[in-house]
Amino acid sequence: MNHYQCVLFDLDGTLVHTAGDLLSALNRVLDAEGRERLPMSAVRDFVSHGTNKLLRIAFGEDQPEADFARRRALFLDLYRNNICEYSRLFPGTSAVLDSIERDGGCWGIVTNKPAFLTDPLIYELELEERAACVISGDTTAETKPHPLPMLTAAEQAGVAPEACIYVGDAQRDIEAGNAAGMLTLIADWGYIDAAQQPEQWGADGRVQHMQDVLDWYRGQRQ
């Protein structure tokens, strides 16, 4: 019998390729200030660092507080209102989710993205009825790398933490999953910039393609 019963995924950069919509919102903020747009190559690998990082890439590290706050509010408004124009599941994801469900298992999402952005995205992708749990950045009192979101996800899914696999593309994902007693995998297709050192994150393994997650889930790779 398969030891693992549930696969939990980070959202941005692991389950869903959201960089296109985030870049679009960022470029519209740049447009509003008469600045030059950025290419995807400038932001893709930094998406997992969140809104503040993207704004600093676009406008510099030392922005007046009032300017930063104004830009952030506009960015979030633009992104929320166009949250799934370009965002899509990463290649192979639909087949993997189908396989997990056919095997009698379940899957869920644990993200630091706030619920007001997570929920509409999941709805647009038609995943809300399928996920055993969706834990956003404001669902619990703590966010990753704290293990509380992971433990809450396992509880909502009705599965013991040690029967869960967590797949993510950031160090905080691996730290949170490890602290919760889950098997952890690094999604090498994710938003990992050159300055990071995934080999030092302490994950149980790395996956090159979404299909590889099934091998771990079915106990074919340990």
Please state the φ and ψ torsions of residue 36, each to the nearest 5 degrees: -75, 140
Contact (CB, 8 A) for 173 and 166: yes
Q: Within 13 Å of residue 206, how many CA atoms lie on the same side as its CB?
A: 14
Catalytic residue set: 10
CA angle 158, 206, 196 (to 5 degrees): 110
Tokens 């599941």 belong to residue:
89
Long-range Cβ contacts of 71-79 (<8 Å, 24+ apart): 71/29, 71/33, 74/28, 74/29, 74/32, 75/25, 75/26, 75/29, 75/51, 76/25, 76/51, 76/117, 78/24, 78/25, 78/28, 78/29, 79/21, 79/22, 79/25, 79/117
Helix 148-157 and helix 171-179: axis angle, to 10°? 60
